[in-house]
Structure 1
Amino acid sequence: MPEGIPFQLQDYLELVDWSGRCLREGKRGAIDGQLPPILERLQIDPRHWLYLNRHFESRFKSLVGSAEAVRGTCDKLGKRWAQGIRDCERLLSPPTT
């Protein structure tokens, strides 16, 4: 598997389906309140996921992921910073305990 978020196609399709149903306001039928397993595994709040679906391109210009992963990649690439790192911390990083 290439580097990146390690999830299977079925999980991805379920995530896309769930996101699409939530983003289609006014659609008939109930929206399942269950979180898809991928969001739980990545520790991404579903509200943050929906926000990212609507604003992804305006919030990120280069690297995307947990703040720790983005910082590590910046170090490897010799970059001093990545645009959107604060959003990575806020939206994509696991909660601190």
Structure 2
Amino acid sequence: MLQDYLELVDWSGRCLRDDKRGAIESGLPPILERLQIDPQHWLYLNRNFESRFKSLVGTTHSVRSACERLGKRWVQGIRDCERYLSPPIP
């Protein structure tokens, strides 16, 4: 169901005129592919988001940068950010 929804949102964005807010260029790959998120990881996170993350969420790099700016030493869920939301290192 979630995958269907994401495909619908992606399809809708591709149907909008290029000069409209929210338009997605027709040549771009699907959204999860662009974000380098495994669809199975996305489904898991969608079902378990609140239990996995308590504050900051994003790529490991962006969460660590935010922690530095905020003066936080750690954030609950950083390992899950790395596992599920950070692009693989080539």
Runs of 4+ in 1 over 3 A off after TM superposition: none
Task: Give SS of 1:58's match.
Answer: helix
Aligned CA RMSD, in angstroms, stands at 2.1
1:5-84 maps to which residues of 2 (within 5 A)?
17-18=5-6, 37-84=30-77
1:16-67 alpha-carbon deviations (Å, 9 max, x no partner): 7048xxxxxxxxxxxxxxxx71111110000000000110000000000000
Q: Quick one: distance in 1 between partners of 2:4 and 2:81?
A: 20
Q: Quick one: distance in 1 between partners of 2:4 and 2:70?
A: 31
Amino acid at match of 1:43: Q
Q: Quick one: distance in 2 between partners of 1:16 and 1:65?
A: 23
Alignment gaps of 5+ in structure 2? 8-28
Match of 2:78 in 1: 85
Q: Taking structure 1 as reference, are residues 89 and 77 closer, same or farther at Cα in structure 2, changes over 3 Å only?
A: same
TM-score by length of 2: 0.69
Q: What is the percent sequence identity of the aligned residues?
A: 71
Task: Give SS of 1:75's match.
Answer: helix
TM-score by length of 1: 0.64
Aligned residues: 68
Alignment gaps of 5+ in structure 1? 1-13, 20-35
